[in-house]
Homo-oligomer: A and B are copies of this chain.
């Protein structure tokens, strides 16, 4: 599948790498694509890894993944514009966090969310919020923790899009438990979870953890 990443930081590079290895045709979109030489080189034998502008990555993808820092996401997506994203599924893994005086804060919460703002700004795009509650290492390798017996969440307004993305998460990364929280406003819940996971990180001293809903 042709997949375009908006954003080329840790999350974009990590997910992009795995997806190339699985045979997908991946373009990482960046503000300065020239800085991604190392990423591209490490995958050059595949012939499936390319880099480009945000716009080029969006146009490349049948499926597009927003992996920009959440505080910049809307601005970047609006530069790309409606047309390149219309009719497509946009998987949004971004978190609208910022540090103020050394303190972690959510820039959009609790009664709104980045997922909703993107969906509202791009009504012809099917925004699916998922994976945004775990580290990139866990995103691509949930089986590395407790044999995958923990949960990720998914939210979005389009049920078919959520079903497709859930299937991708199973096939690509091996996610076993994907809990559908409803429409895109559930992004308030999953983005807000950062307040808890950052505290748990502080309590445990490492980030190799995830939540499981015991029922």
Contact = CB atoms under 8 A, between A and B. Distances in A.
Interface on chain A toward B: helix, strand, loop, or mixed SS? mixed
A202 interface: yes
Interface-centre pick from A153, A199, A200, A206 (highest chain B CB count, 10 A):
A199
A13 B182 CA distance: 33
Nearest to A100: B111
Interface string A185-215: 0101110110110111011101011111111
Given A109-B110, A110-B105, A196 B200 contact: no
Nearest to A199: B181
B200 A213 contact: yes
A145 B213 CA distance: 11
Q: How large is the interface on A (under 10, 10 to 19, 20 to 34, 35 or more residues)?
A: 35 or more
B196 A192 contact: yes
A142 to B, nearest CB: 10
A120 to B, nearest CB: 16
Given A110-B105, A192-B110, A196-B189, A181 B209 contact: no
A43 to B, nearest CB: 31
Interface-centre pick from A150, A153, A189 (highest chain B CB count, 10 A):
A189
Contact of A149 (B111, B196, B206, B214): B214
Nearest to A179: B203
